[in-house]
Chains A and B, each alone.
Chain A
């Protein structure tokens, strides 16, 4: 998780209502892109990944169009979204 969101968990601020959808308020906590989505992801092989991955760490795995990708969730904590193209399909991996 991004440090700003981590701080919010403790501060419990009174958030501003941006608008209301289906009777439920949408709250603004941060400016747009304060948490930066990944837009130009780069990938390494499994062999290279062993240098920075721990056995027990959680990943989101995707098999699409003949390609296989793993997205480490501890990394996604700080970005929330990865924009990628997998097997020619534009995807967003969100956590």
Chain B
């Protein structure tokens, strides 16, 4: 929704910080894809609300949600990603060939990026083993990251219920254990058993960009593990 109307976004053909810039057909403003913020035009400074989508494989998604609808492939559908060579090239940063400025991590390292409570935080994928369960705090908000043991799918939730902070440990493949009793279903955020039975945790929006792109948008980003936070 932009300016009170449902807008459609299009590809502007421009890049800012080597990332997609979109335009909206209501105000003509330019929106940066990485943080959903309008950078040019009448909406400058406004933000689009980020929704918590899940990135995974088709096989896993349909297993988790057999009732899913699927966007029909139209036009020239390809098998495989056209970006494969780009993804694999550690020296190529973006279409325009950015320079790596922040070398705390290798530029093409994939990070899980989370912005919450005014803090930007990056979780390097290479440091998160399959099956990892991370209890962390970002911008004062307690969060849970769970990496699926076989697919590597990432699920991130706010780990608080009515002001009570919960902690988690490894469980079965699609669930994690609530410390103190109970299980969290990673598919839908629902807790069964234990003191918080029936509660549903809020899924958080994340991105999985390359480090060089993340830090261009969030130069003050912290990164995990850093100092432990409870």
A contact set with B: CB distance below 8 Å: 1, 3, 5-6, 8-9, 12, 15, 18-19, 21-22, 24-39, 41-46, 48-49, 52-64, 67-75, 77-83, 85, 90-94
Task: Compute the total of residue contacts between A and B using a CB distance below 8 Å.
Answer: 197
B162 proximal to A (CB < 8 A): no
Chain A residues with CB below 8 A from B20, complex form: 80, 94
Report the separation of the CA atoms of residues A48 and B16 in the bound assembly, to the nearest whole angstrom. 38
Q: From B7, which residue of chain A is reached at the shortest CB distance? A: A90
Given A21-B40, A68-B65: 8 more A-B contacts, CB < 8 Å: A3-B82, A24-B17, A38-B74, A55-B58, A56-B58, A72-B71, A74-B80, A75-B73
A71 CB → nearest B CB, Å: 5
B68 touches A46 (CB 8 A): yes
| A-binding residues in B (CB < 8 A) | 1, 6-17, 20-23, 30, 33, 39-40, 48, 51, 53-59, 61-62, 64-83, 86, 92, 95-97, 188
Contacts of A42 in B (CB 8 A): 71-72, 74
| Cβ A59 vs Cβ B72 within 8 A | no
Taking CB atoms, residues of chain B closer than 8 Å to A79 are 11
Q: Are B11 and A57 in contact (CB under 8 A)?
A: no
CB <8 Å contact, B79 and A67? no
Contact, CB under 8 Å: A77 / B83: yes
Q: Which residue of B22, B30, B82 contacts A6 across the interface (Cβ within 8 Å)?
A: B82
Residues on A with C-beta less than 8 A from B9 are 37, 81, 83, 92, 94
- Enumerate chain A residues within 8 angstroms of B67, measured Cβ to Cβ: 46, 68
Identify which of A3, A68, A77 gathers the most chain B CB atoms within 10 Å of its CB: A68
- Whether B58 and A54, one on each chain, are in contact in the complex, defined by CB atoms closer than 8 angstroms, is yes
CB pair B70–A78 under 8 Å, yes or no, is no
Residue of B nearest to A49 (CB): B70
Minimal beta-carbon separation of A34 from chain B (angstroms): 6
The answer to whether B69 touches A82, judged by C-beta atoms less than 8 angstroms apart, is no
Query: Which A-B residue pairs are the 4 nearest by beta carbons?
Result: A30-B13, A49-B70, A55-B59, A90-B6
Complexed CA–CA distance, A64 and B55 (Å): 15
Pick from A21, A28, A59, A93: contact of B57, CB below 8 A.
Answer: A59
Q: How far is the CA of A75 from the CA of B86 in the complex (A)?
A: 17
Query: B14 touching A73 by the CB < 8 A rule?
Result: no
Q: List 11 A-B contacts (CB under 8 A).
A: A1-B82, A22-B39, A26-B15, A26-B40, A37-B8, A41-B71, A59-B56, A61-B64, A70-B58, A78-B82, A85-B6
Q: How far apart are the CA atoms of A72 and B81 in the complex, in Å?
A: 11
Contact yes or no, A73 B69, CB < 8 A: no
